[in-house]
Amino acid sequence: MKNVLAKKYLGQHFLKEEDIAFRITNLLHKNTKHVLEIGPGMGALTKYLIKKNIKLETIEIDEDSVRYLNSLYPKLIVKNEDFLKIDIKTRYSKGISLIGNFPYNISSQILFKIYENKNYINEIVGMFQKEVAERIVCQNGKKRGILSVFIQAFYNTNYCFTVDPKYFIPPPKIQSGVVKFIRNKRRNLNCDENLFIKIVKKGFSQKRKTLRNSLKTFNFENKKEIEHLLNFRAEQLTVDNFIKITNHVS
């Protein structure tokens, strides 16, 4: 069967370097049992995943890629669906690991979906635009953002390695970064999570200002206990700092 042509509107860049594909799939935890590959394309990762002792499913929005994969791997579960629209809670109630070369144009949407389904997604191994990958794992500083806090609240994050554009067809204009998230032991935030989300988003909406200014629309109880935190910018705070501030909103 002919190779699949990458579609710009889907943000497709097919990985062609075997060694990198192998390294990515090898990042999965050795005890991983059930894996969902997102956007397998022409199967660069799939060819190594099928050799593992796991239950493997793939989800692919591109019909050409689905036909291509079905011709190569007739026993593989290939679902022609949009990952952003599936009900993870219902379909994978016992938990799932995700892996993929994630489309850059929907990377933030994918990360928000991971956050929303954190109790059902145990592990993520994925390739993002390098800038996005670095932001997700950033603990302190200018690269830290809303998604850094949300993801780090429930996952231990690790930047694994950088991938050069030359290893893709067609080559993207930017470098890529491979990251790994492992679900941590935090079951809940010990605060109002909806309010926590509002606090984090508001704090980063004016990220060059201190939280004293960016959060001035909120009223606080026992403000003296968080006074020192309000002197910092959002990018300088930990997840626990944001939880503490949330618990002092009246």
Same domain for 63 and 139, yes or no, is: yes
- Decide if 1 is inside a domain: no
The two three-digit tokens of residue 33, written as one number:
């049992």
Q: Are 38 and 86 in contact (CB under 8 A)?
A: no
- Decide if 177 is inside a domain: yes
- Decide if 49 is inside a domain: yes
Domain boundary among 152, 183, 214: 183
Same domain for 35 and 85, yes or no, is: yes
Same domain for 137 and 34, yes or no, is: yes
Same domain for 45 and 135, yes or no, is: yes
Same domain for 95 and 210, yes or no, is: no
pLDDT at residue 1 in the model: 56
* Chain Cα centroid distance, residue 155: 10
Task: Name residues whose C-beta falls within 8 Å of residue 25's C-beta, 6 or more positions apart in sequence.
Answer: 45, 48, 49, 52, 99, 125
pLDDT digits (tens, 9 = 90+) for 41-72: 999 999 999 999 999 999 999 998 999 999 99
- Decide if 2 is inside a domain: no
pLDDT at residue 154 in the model: 98
Same domain for 66 and 20, yes or no, is: yes
Q: Which domain holds residue 242?
A: 193-246
Domain containing 37 — which CATH number?
A: 3.40.50.150
User: Per residue in 128-150, is it b (16+ CB within 10 Å) or e — as a string?
Assistant: bbbebbbbbbbeeeeebbbbbbb
Task: Give the lowest-confidence range in 17-21, 117-121, 218-222, 237-241.
Answer: 218-222
- State the CB neighbour count (10 A cutoff) for residue 161: 14
Most confident of 94-108, 154-168, 211-225: 154-168
pLDDT at residue 11 in the model: 78
- Kindly state the helix (H) or strand (E) to which residue 71 belongs, with its residue range: helix 63-72
pLDDT digits (tens, 9 = 90+) for 86-112: 999 999 999 999 999 998 889 999 999
User: Higher model confidence: residue 182 or residue 2?
Assistant: 182
- Scan for tokens 């470098």, then name that residue: 175
pLDDT digits (tens, 9 = 90+) for 168-207: 999 999 999 999 999 999 999 999 999 999 999 999 998 8
Same domain for 176 and 223, yes or no, is: no
**Helix, strand, or coil (residue 12):** coil
